[in-house]
């Protein structure tokens, strides 16, 4: 990990910058795939599945038999783990339920805000070497709590045409009835535009590779909402001298194993502590099956020594980490001053993996500095808030002069007229 000792503020922007390579080849391939699916529907999906995944399912829909087999093949230990995690996730997301707000802003003027579930939601679950079934819980449980009536999931198969058992088991456990065997940019296209067999959705959620991410970006401009912009995963660990270096090292490595473009940042107050963490990282790294991936991620990773806590906090807020782990004696003194982070792990016994799987918080979080403006996935992500106003005749009378003055000031006379016609001022200029 590259070491920066007391860097001055002018250097910070370079240290916090994520190097995200833009790839013209990915861009043009994705545009081509989106176009094919939009115009070619199911036939295009079949062709693309064969060309890209090397497998075309007879039907994209996972059958009841496949669900049943998955249930039979998942171990009892895994079922118990999924059940425990799901309970916590459901509890925390249920607590986020929104109560309607009603205010009489002026006499006879009622303003109301209510949350209504998004009607058609599409979840994308990546496949690949390790199926991320935890993401099924994180995306499907809040959809269920929100009451979204139509929830579908797309996920790629392996070359034998199978979806991981845990993914199917988790999907059913969380109330997802329809799973399509479909991955990549073509899955995003199918959910954004709809085809003969796959219905268009209103919002797409979920992580993915560069093709999936780029496809989500494209459809978000004109077709379908998406959860948030995505980038490689990242963690910032801030530690004081009370911290156990082996804990900090383990947290850094659990980020690094995600992929070669993951990033871990350690912020601490002395080079001595930084050195201790570094040697723990090397020791633990050697024990990891994914050592090669983690080693490459560590090349992107940085240690920043900043002596003052104020400077540390300013640096963290500038970086706006997806995950922030606070290994300090008084962790809330820092946590309370954080203005930009996805999820915060407070104190020595709150590793990122707790939130990744089972504490109850969501693990779909803003990366690449987007925590400055985006929340992680939460119950709100599955709802829209609609406002309502109901004025009595007297209520409108009371506002009439205000509305008419402002509308005429903006040159919008028909806006004024819509009030005048109701309150008997139609002939008044």
Q: Residue 406 Cβ, how far from a second copy at the closest point, in Å?
A: 5
Q: Residue 59 Cβ, how far from a second copy at the closest point, in Å?
A: 25
Footprint on residues 12-71 left by a second copy (CB under 8 A):
none
| C-beta of 49 vs 236, nearer to a second copy | 236
CA nearest to 52, candidates 218, 141, 146, 183: 183
Q: Residue 32 Cβ, how far from a second copy at the closest point, in Å?
A: 18
| C-beta of 57 vs 213, nearer to a second copy | 213
Q: Does 168 help bind a second copy (rule: CB under 8 A)? A: no
| C-beta of 48 vs 145, nearer to a second copy | 145
| Positions marked catalytic | 322-323
| C-beta of 7 vs 117, nearer to a second copy | 117
Q: Does 429 help bind a second copy (rule: CB under 8 A)? A: no
Footprint on residues 85-114 left by a second copy (CB under 8 A):
85, 87-88, 91-92, 95-96, 101, 103, 105-106, 109, 111, 113
Q: Residue 374 Cβ, how far from a second copy at the closest point, in Å?
A: 6
The string over 345-383, giving b where at least 16 C-beta atoms fall within 10 Å of a residue's C-beta and e elsewhere, is: beebebbbbebbbbbbbbbbbbbbbbbeebbbbbbebbb
Footprint on residues 283-312 left by a second copy (CB under 8 A):
284, 287-290, 294
Answer yes or no: are the C-beta atoms of 70 and 176 closer than 8 Å: no
Footprint on residues 397-426 left by a second copy (CB under 8 A):
399, 401-403, 405-407, 409-419, 421-422
Please spell the DSSP secondary structure of 105-136, one letter per residue.
EETTEEEEEEEEE-SEEEEE---SSS--HHHH
Q: Residue 343 Cβ, how far from a second copy at the closest point, in Å?
A: 5
Footprint on residues 334-393 left by a second copy (CB under 8 A):
335, 338-362, 370-376, 378, 380, 384-393
Q: Does 73 help bind a second copy (rule: CB under 8 A)? A: no
Cα–Cα distance for residue pair 143/175, rounded to 1 Å: 9
| C-beta of 49 vs 213, nearer to a second copy | 213
Q: Does 257 help bind a second copy (rule: CB under 8 A)? A: yes
H/E stretch holding 287 reads: none
The string over 210-228, giving b where at least 16 C-beta atoms fall within 10 Å of a residue's C-beta and e elsewhere, is: bbbbbbbebbbeebbbbbb
Q: Residue 247 Cβ, how far from a second copy at the closest point, in Å?
A: 6
Number of residues that bind a second copy (CB under 8 A): 124
Q: Does 129 help bind a second copy (rule: CB under 8 A)? A: yes
CA nearest to 265, candidates 241, 226, 232: 232
| C-beta of 54 vs 128, nearer to a second copy | 128
Cβ-Cβ contacts under 8 Å for 218 (sequence gap 6 or more): 30, 31, 34
H/E stretch holding 304 reads: strand 302-305
CA nearest to 232, candidates 297, 325, 303: 297
H/E stretch holding 409 reads: helix 393-409
Greatest distance between any 2 Cα atoms in the chain: 85
């Amino acid at each position: 990990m590259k070491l920066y000792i007391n860097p001055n503020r002018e250097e910070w922007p370079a240290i916090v910058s994520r190097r995200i390579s833009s790839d013209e080849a990915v861009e043009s391939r994705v545009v081509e795939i989106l176009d094919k699916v939009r115009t070619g529907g199911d036939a295009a999906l079949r062709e693309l599945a064969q060309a890209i995944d090397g497998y075309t399912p007879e039907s994209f829909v996972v059958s009841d038999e496949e669900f049943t087999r998955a249930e039979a093949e998942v171990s009892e230990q895994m079922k118990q783990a999924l059940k425990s995690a799901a309970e916590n996730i459901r509890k925390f997301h249920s607590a986020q339920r929104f109560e309607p707000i009603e205010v009489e802003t002026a006499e006879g003027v009622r303003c109301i805000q209510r949350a209504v579930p998004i009607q058609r939601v599409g979840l994308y679950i990546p496949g690949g070497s390790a199926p991320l079934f935890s993401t099924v819980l994180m995306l499907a449980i809040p959809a269920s709590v929100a009451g979204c009536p139509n929830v579908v999931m797309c996920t790629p198969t392996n070359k034998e045409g199978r979806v991981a058992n845990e993914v199917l088991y988790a999907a059913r456990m969380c109330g997802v009835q329809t799973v399509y065997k479909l991955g990549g940019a073509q899955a995003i296209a199918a959910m954004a535009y709809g085809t003969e067999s796959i219905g268009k959705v209103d919002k797409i959620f979920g992580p993915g590779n560069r093709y999936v991410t780029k496809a989500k970006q494209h459809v978000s401009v004109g077709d379908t909402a998406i959860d948030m912009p995505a980038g490689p995963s990242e963690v910032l660990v801030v530690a004081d001298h009370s911290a156990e270096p082996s804990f900090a090292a383990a947290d850094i490595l659990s980020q690094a194993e995600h992929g070669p473009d993951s990033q871990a940042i350690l912020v601490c107050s002395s080079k001595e502590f930084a050195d201790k963490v570094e040697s723990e990282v090397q020791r633990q790294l050697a024990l990891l099956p994914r050592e090669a991936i983690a080693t490459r991620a560590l090349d992107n990773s940085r240690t920043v020594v900043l002596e003052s806590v104020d400077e540390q906090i300013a640096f963290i807020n500038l970086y706006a980490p997806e995950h922030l782990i606070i290994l300090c004696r008084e962790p809330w003194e820092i946590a309370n001053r954080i203005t930009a982070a996805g999820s915060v792990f407070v104190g020595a016994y709150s590793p990122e993996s707790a939130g990744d799987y089972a504490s109850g918080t969501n693990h779909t979080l803003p990366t690449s500095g987007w925590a400055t403006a985006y929340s992680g996935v939460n119950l709100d992500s599955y709802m829209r808030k609609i406002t309502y106003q109901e004025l009595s005749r007297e209520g409108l009378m009371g506002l009439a002069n205000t509305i008419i003055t402002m509308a005429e000031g903006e040159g919008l006379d028909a806006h004024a007229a819509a009030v005048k016609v109701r309150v008997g001022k139609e002939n008044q200029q």
